Amino acid sequence: MEHHPTDINVYTHKVFAHCKQLLLWLPAKDVSDITEALHAFDQLLLNVASLQFHQPQWTAFLSEMQGYFFFFCGCLLFKRSLKGQSTWKEIEGAATLCYLASVSYRPIDKHSDLYLQGDLTNRLFVKYLHKMGCYRLSQVGHVLCDVVKKHSSNWIYDLTVRCCTPQCKEQLYDLVFTFRDMRRGRGKSFLLSENAFNNVTSTIPTKSDLAEYDQVSVLLNSTDLNSIIWLCLHYYNATKDEAQPNYNFSLFDNLPYSSSSLSSGLNLGVESLCQLDTEVFLIAVVYSAGRLLQQVRQEPSRPQLLPKVLCRQFCTPEQAEWWQLACKFREKLELDNFTKLRLILMRGLDTVRLTEGHGMSASLILHVARTLQNKVI
């Protein structure tokens, strides 16, 4: 039976709402609430998979949501381990398998006919879906690379071979959906459907793949300083690196690179905000986050950085607020409580420009200088 286009919009909004709910709940809710929400998502994906929608945008959207489902499954298992409800050894293989399944769902190609031949609304939809896919694969890819480092070269291959058996799939289902009524409903589940693991391979994203995903991922969350620090910490090792690499995040390209007030010592106000200010700020907060990460004690077999939704905050509320204000200033957005927010921005500029009372330590200043020097060499 053919469905009216408005039906597609209804189902699209419903599936997308479930996906966004899980993204919000993973860091904030307890494990039982997340399990219930993920099971509801599982049932919804099973139901919509049978709908006879033939529009290419629906197929692309559904594929992305299925990729997110496996991402969420892995995150839930990781969270159980963090909360002490499972050991890392018990969930590591299953969570890795979920992430490998997520990797098999590639992001939509924003240069495809679906984008080029669509109207404005459709093009915006495809661009956003592409960003979501790159964010997912950035998160999944970095964690997979960290997990693989701790195992033999055959470990992932053995996982993918085992996942083809019905017994392995049922074991995975029982690890994800732990409630008794959920286990009784094994017969009707997207996770146990025939096509769920069809394209799983032992291939993980390469460094060049991740670099591409990261560049798009930051555009989806450009005002979220915590997300950007999480990415940077995958390229900067505070225990080994004297300087940070060039992250190449093109977030403030519409601002001038430098400002005359930097060399003249004149205070020209927040209007003098430039790319160099934001670079120094990011270098400083990443350096501080890296030092704090060194002090965290955890199981040796577990990666230091799990998905961002499960990690602690890497910056202070004040730092996050300054970054958001800088992004608003970049976009020339109107600021509520204008005078107060300008003062917050200005205090941050005074710090990164090392004006009187800046409060930056000598070691941090030296680190910033080395990083900037390496960038121009």
pLDDT digits (tens, 9 = 90+) for 274-291: 999 999 999 999 999 999
For residue 214, tell me if it sits in a domain: no
Q: In terms of domains, do 13 and 103 share one?
A: yes
| Same domain, yes or no: 279 and 177 | no
Residues 160 and 231 in one domain: no
Report phi then psi at 45, rounded to 5: -65, -35
Name which of 85-89, 183-187, 290-294, 353-357 the model is least confident about.
353-357
pLDDT for position 268 = 62
Asked if the structure places residue 174 within a domain, the reply is: yes
In the block, which residue shows the tokens 């995903």? Answer: 213
Q: Does residue 15 contact residue 44 with C-beta atoms inside 8 Å?
A: yes
Residues 227 and 373 in one domain: yes
At how many degrees (to 10) do helices 166-176 and 56-82 cross? 70
Q: With a threshold of 0.85, does the pTM exceed it?
A: yes
What's the pLDDT at 34? 98
How many beta carbons lie within 10 A of that of residue 55, not counting itself?
A: 12
Average pLDDT, the chain: 88
Q: Is residue 106 part of a domain?
A: yes
265 falls in which pLDDT band (50, 70, 90)?
very low
Please indicate, yes or no, if residue 213 is contained in any of the structural domains.
no
Q: What is the pLDDT of residue 232?
A: 97
Label residue 264 by pLDDT band (50, 70, 90).
very low
Domain-terminating residue out of 150, 177, 205: 205
Q: Between 235 and 264, name the one with better pLDDT.
A: 235
Contacts of 370 (CB under 8 A, 6+ apart): 242, 243
| Inside any domain, residue 374 | yes
> What is the average pLDDT across 162-178?
88
pLDDT at 306 over 60: yes
**335-353 mean pLDDT:** 82
89 and 301 Cβ atoms separated by less than 8 Å? yes
Same domain for 228 and 189, yes or no, is: no
Are 165 and 265 contained in the same domain? no
Cα separation of 275 and 259, whole Å?
9
Domain count, the chain: 2
Among 150, 173, 205, the domain boundary falls at 205
Q: What is the dihedral of CA 133, 246, 320, 141, to 10 degrees?
A: 30
Q: What is the pLDDT of residue 57?
A: 85
Q: Are residues 180 and 230 in the same domain?
A: no
Residues 191 and 276 placed together within one structural domain of the fold: no
The fraction of the chain above a pLDDT of 70, given in percent, is: 93
Q: Is residue 215 part of a domain?
A: no
pLDDT score recorded for residue 142: 97
pLDDT exceeds cutoff 70 at 2:
no
- Asked whether residue 194 falls in the same domain as residue 225, the answer is no
pLDDT tier at 241, thresholds 50, 70, 90: confident
Quick one: pLDDT at residue 116? 72
| Residues 278, 181 share a domain | no
CA proximity to 223, closest of 250, 259, 189, 251: 251
**Last residue of some domain: 174, 205, 236?**
205
What is the domain extent for residue 141?
1-205
**Residue with the larger pLDDT of the pair 367 and 120:** 367
Question: In terms of domains, do 140 and 236 share one?
Answer: no
In a domain, residue 211? The reply is no
23 and 54 share one domain:
yes
Assigned domain for 324 exists = yes
- Does the pLDDT at position 186 exceed 60? yes
Q: How far is CA 43 from the centre of its chain?
A: 25
